[in-house]
Structures are given as C-alpha cells and as structure tokens.
Homo-oligomer: A and B are copies of this chain.
C-alpha cells in the first residue's frame, strides 16, 4: 500500500515532528508523541509516511529543500561573486535564526541517526554543496578567487565554517545574534586571517 505524500495533515505531522524532536531530542521522539503533537492518531502517520525513517527523511527533504530553494533564489539575484557568497552565508544564518526548532533539529538531533538515514540526508545536502561549488567556480572564472585553489577543500572550508558556526550558536542556546556574524565569516573566508598592514 502506497502512502499519500500531501494534504494538510502531511505538513502538520512534519511540523509536529520538528517540534517534538527539538524539545525532547531525537531518541525521545516516539511516533506516539509526534502523533499527539500533530493531533492525529498514531496510525494516521502511516497513511502519509511509509515508516518512521521515511517521516524523518521527508522532514529533512521538505525543510532543507525549501531552505536550499530560497537560498538559491537569493543568490541568483546577486551579480558579484562576493555578494553571492555573502548571501549564501546570510541566508543560512537567517533561515535558521528565525526557526530555532529547525536549527536544533538539523544541527543536532538529525545527526544522531543511523547510517541509512544519514545517507539519505547526504543526498539532500548534495544540492546545497552544488550551490557552493557553483559560487567557487564562478569566483575562479571571474578571477576573484585564486585559480589554483582546490575546489573540494574550499567547499569543505566554506561549509565546515558555516556549519560549525551555526552548531556553536545552537549549542549556546541561540544566545547571540547569528546573522550579525555573516559579514565577518565572509571576509575571513575570502581573505583569511593573515595580517596585511598596508
């Protein structure tokens, strides 16, 4: 029996899952708890998702899919590579800043999953990393970035820095303004932290 992948309850269940996982942690987020939060019966979840893993994957796909689409859109509005990179960072920080629950779920909780689930999550992330790669290649072409840089390493540097910055912010209970750091992160990535007295 196949499952319905849309309808108001589909979204309601995914949002409930985000809330429950953010509040109780991944391992304390039983189907019954999510169902209760969504205001549906346990069995109803199985009308929309094949199983619990499918729900979590769908959650990530829906939320990150939207996240990536929005980011991509904004980046395309910018013309200079520097603006594009700044926008990538800003959008990342902004979108997680306005949704603390989602930030907790993506930065902390969804990482404690088994290999199979993480593989699926990796597939979704691929699209994000492609976005990063595009900017890097663009930067090289426009002679803004050094022609000899290793794209893979630069990608890991950009993503690793953004991700670590975000995770630290989440682990510090979102105590400071994450978006305010975007410009600094951007400048450090592009210029490094070497002192170059003029």
Give the B-binding residues of A (Cβ under 8 A).
1, 25-27, 32, 108, 111-115, 118, 122, 136, 139, 143-147, 149-150, 152-154, 156-157, 159-165, 168, 171, 181, 184-185, 188-197
Whether the pair A194, B145 counts as a contact (CB closer than 8 A) is yes
Pick from B32, B111, B146: contact of A194, CB below 8 A. B146
Kindly list chain B residues whose C-beta atoms are within 8 Å of the C-beta of A108.
Answer: 115, 118
Cα of A145 to Cα of B191 in the assembled complex, Å: 11
A108 CA / B150 CA spacing, docked (Å): 24
Complexed CA–CA distance, A197 and B32 (Å): 61
| Minimum CB distance partner of A33 in chain B | B1
Q: Taking CB as reference atom, which chain B residue is nearest A25? A: B115
Residue pairs across A and B with Cβ atoms less than 8 A apart, 6 shown, are A111-B112, A112-B112, A143-B197, A145-B194, A157-B161, A160-B163
Nearest-neighbor residue (CB-CB) of A32 within chain B: B1
Q: Across the interface, which residues of B come within 8 angstroms of A32, CB to CB? A: 1
User: Are the CB atoms of B161 and A156 closer together than 8 Å?
Assistant: yes
Q: Which residue of B lies closest to A82 (CB)?
A: B194
- Most chain-B Cβ atoms within 10 A of its Cβ — which of A143, A150, A190, A191? A191
A26 surroundings in chain B (CB, below 8 A): 114
Chain B residues within 8 Å of A111, by CB: 111-112
With beta carbons under 8 angstroms apart, the residue of B147, B152, B159, B160 that contacts A195 is B147
Nearest-neighbor residue (CB-CB) of A197 within chain B:
B143
Measured between alpha carbons, how far is A92 from B108 in the docked complex, in Å?
23
Is A181 a contact of B153 with CB atoms below 8 Å?
yes
Q: Determine the chain B residues whose CB is within 8 A of the CB of A181 once the complex forms.
A: 150, 153
Per a CB cutoff under 8 Å, which of B149, B189, B195 touches A157? B189
Q: Give every chain B residue within 8 A of A197 (Cβ-Cβ).
A: 143
B154 with A164: CB separation less than 8 A: no
Bound CA span A25–B164, Å: 24
A185 and chain B: residue at smallest CB distance: B153
